[in-house]
Amino acid sequence: MADTILNVEHLNKNFGKKQVLKDVSFSVQTGHIVGLVGPNGAGKSTIMKAVLGLFNYASGKITIDGDPVSPTSHKAMDKVGALIEYPGIYPFLTGYQHLQLFSKDSTSKDQIMDIVDKMKMDSYINRKAKTYSLGMKQKLGIALALVDRPKFVILDEPMNGLDPQANKDLRTIILDLAKQGTTFLISSHILSELEKLIDDLVVIDKGQIVYTESMANLESGGKKLLVLKTSDDAKAKDLLAQNNYQLDDGDKLAVIENDQTKMADVIKLLSDNDIEIEDVQHVHSDLETSLLNLLKNDKVKES
Amino acid sequence: MITLVKQETFKLLHKKSTYAVSATLLIIMTIYAVLTKNYPKYWGAPQGQFVGMFTGATWIVFFMIAACSSIIAMEFQYGTIKELLYRKYYRGQILVSKWITMLLYSIYFYVLAFVWSLLLKVVLFNDKFQLSDTYQSGHSVIEAQWLGIIGTFLTVWLVLSLVLLLANIFKSTAAAISIGIIGYFALSIISNVMFLLMQKWEWLKWNPLNMMNLPQQLLSDSVHKMTLLSTPEMVCGSLVYTAIFMAISYVVFKRRSV
């Protein structure tokens, strides 16, 4: 198990009588970026807090880099950086003072300035945090999670309140760090953003893990479609069906692509039969579609 | 642990209110000293004012109640509690580092007020009285001041341990401050009733409010007849109650989900 940094086994957690986590098990490979997604209230933050040793849990086992984690066992936290829910900010301190306060003694001034620079916070890092906008606070929160260059980083909704440029900067930083061996566990609702980052996906619904898969598998599992718009869609459909093309059910004229499907052949077939092609589009099922389908199937029964 | 205390001190030193409060304390003490010098009829003998550090002793109680409730409650208010707790440190260490910081802060206040009261004495009342003059029950002025400081220090910490506990339970500064201040001053209001009840049911002498009479008892033995406790019993009582409140705080803090 040397290559997994986080192991969660059979984790159960109750808030009063309501069971919020049910037998949650998953692991995170070292150096991977793992997305934790699920509907509101599914238990994402709860899992993250449990992993950070902020919660007592009823049963189960959490280990980071082999060390057990619980509210009374925090040794492993030395290797972890995190941003949970919203960044905790003291209004009376400047951004730089926050980084100074929370960074380890072994973290040099250069290292602090390095993350400030990468997050493009230079212009306001010496201003008191009470003057910060939501996005600035969010960036500071992320900087706090990364400043000590931890082995394992947990980010809960890191894109919250970030503008498009900051979003892109964050993506670059995360991908760079991952290349250098940092492991990330990231939750987000902005699936289009998450999709650009993650290697593996963990889907949680109603306190249970419903799906764990690598992105590569997820993408290959989805349908690729060639969507056409022609002068006579009905005729085109018949024609394509006769020529053994698989068509997608639905109102639109869409050919399900496989390895043998060649766009040129489709176009030639249609134009030879005097059907004018007005538009052609490749459509991949994206993370959002796959995920919504997955959650719609509702593998989880409310207990 | 030293790192954690340093971090708490760092936060304290970067709050404007820390400096404002210290300045306020000195200004108020100065005002009272000047008034005492100019209008001795209304403000009583300068020795008495000096013993009470020109009301400084009372103000320190207010300031420390506010500081103790905010050092706990602000972490919940600002959401920084998560950042404090998910690190490699144990929860208990986080809480204890806050206690130590507050202990140092209270010592700082007493030293500051003591030095300033000496200064005011030298500048304004040098010809009025000597520190070695007899003040009360055979104690000299300076002895009386020191006994007062020791007594209030112990009772203040009894109140502060309760404030720290309440801030921990309610996660709000307002609740902890109000109950702390009301608690501290409730004594003067209900002490007569309390003393009467204690005559009837003697075991009531062990109630925490009675411990608050320690500063008076240190200065004059006659208070013993009211409190029904010897001075060592009161000192121990104060410490035991402080320890009990701290212990409950510790358990509450350790069990809290954030």
**Alpha helix (H) residue ranges in B171-230:** 173-200, 208-211, 214-219, 224-227
pLDDT band at B67 (very low <50, low <70, confident <90, very high): very high
Pick B79's closest partner by Cβ from A53, A86, A92.
A86
Check residue A73 and report its DSSP letter.
B
Question: How many helices (H) and strands (E) in chain B?
Answer: 13, 2
Q: Return the structure tokens found at A265.
A: 């052949």
* Bridge-based pairing state of the strands A200-205 and B134-136: unpaired
Q: Which of A71, A82, A89 sits opposite B91 (nearest CB)?
A: A71
pLDDT band at A302 (very low <50, low <70, confident <90, very high): very low
Cβ-count burial B79-112 (b if 16+ within 10 Å, e if not) = bbbbbbbbbebbbebbbbbbbbbbeebbeebbeb
Summarised one tens digit per residue, pLDDT across range A184-239 is: 999 988 788 888 888 898 988 888 888 787 777 766 666 677 888 888 888 888 88
- In the structure encoding, which two tokens stand for residue A131, read together? 């003057």
d(CA B182, CA B188): 11
Could you tell me the fold of the domain covering A223-284? Alpha-Beta Plaits (3.30.70)
CA A45, distance to chain mean position in Å, is 13
CATH homologous superfamily of domain A4-219?
P-loop containing nucleotide triphosphate hydrolases (3.40.50.300)
Contact criterion met (CB < 8 Å) for B257 and A78: no
The answer to whether A182 and A16 have CB atoms below 8 angstroms apart is no
Give yes or no for A149 touching B (CB within 8 A).
no
Q: What is the pLDDT of residues A173-187, one digit of tens each?
A: 999 999 998 999 999
Residue with more model confidence, B98 or A293: B98
Q: Any idea what the Cα angle at residue A223 is, between residues A217 and A225, rounded to 5°?
A: 140
Rounded percentage of chain A residues whose pLDDT exceeds 70: 94
C-alpha torsion B158→B164→B169→B175, nearest 10: 90
Interface residue B74 vs chain A (CB under 8 A)? yes
* Domain spans, chain A: 4-219, 223-284
| Torsion sign (Cα): B210, B211, B213, B216 | positive
A residues 32-51 lying closer than 8 A (beta carbon) to B:
49
Percent above pLDDT 90 for chain B: 41
Sorted by where each begins, the domain ranges of chain B are 2-255
What residues of chain B lie within 8 A of the CB of A21, using their CB? none
CA dist., res. A173 & res. A175, Å (int): 6
In A, minimum Cα distance to B11 occurs at A93
Element (H, E) at A11: strand A4-15
Token couple for A138: 């969010």
Q: How far is CA B164 from CA B46, B66, B159, in A?
A: 35, 10, 9
- The 8-class DSSP code of residue A75 comes to G
Cβ-defined contact of A54 to B254 (cutoff 8 Å): no
Distance from the Cα of residue B177 to its chain's centroid = 13
Indicate the residue of A56, A82, A88 with minimum beta-carbon distance to B78: A88
Residue A101 has pLDDT above 60, yes or no: yes
A132-145 tens-digit pLDDT: 999 999 999 999 99
List the single residue in B3, B82, B89 with the smallest CB-CB distance to A54: B82
State the average pLDDT over residues A77-85: 90
Q: What is the mean pLDDT of residues B213-226?
A: 84
Please tell me which of the candidates A71, A88, A100 has its beta carbon nearest to residue B80.
Answer: A88
Contact flag B257-A90 (C-beta cutoff 8 Å): no
Contacts of A122 (CB under 8 A, 6+ apart): A116
Task: For residue A52, list chain B residues with Cβ-Cβ distance below 8 A.
Answer: 82, 86
- Measured between beta carbons, which residues in chain A are less than 8 angstroms from residue B82? 49, 52, 54, 82, 84-85, 88
Check CB contact of A80 with chain B, cutoff 8 Å: yes
Burial of A249 (0-12, 13-18, 19+ CB in 10 A): exposed
Count CB-CB contacts under 10 A for residue B254: 15
Query: What are the φ and ψ backbone dihedral angles of B33, each rounded to 5 degrees?
Result: -65, -45
Q: Does A166 touch chain B (CB under 8 A)?
A: no
Over range B188-197, report the average pLDDT: 80
Q: Which residues of B touch A140 (CB under 8 A)?
A: none
Interior CA angle at A108 toward A106 and A110, to 5°?
160
Q: Are B229 and B208 in contact (CB under 8 A)?
A: no
> Hey, how many other C-beta atoms are within 10 angstroms of the C-beta on A222?
16
Whether the predicted interface score ipTM is above 0.90: no
Distance (Å, whole) CA A149 – CA A171 = 16
Mutate to test the interface with A, among B82, B91, B171, B254 (most CBs of A within 10 A): B82
Partner-chain contact B87 A86, CB within 8 Å: no
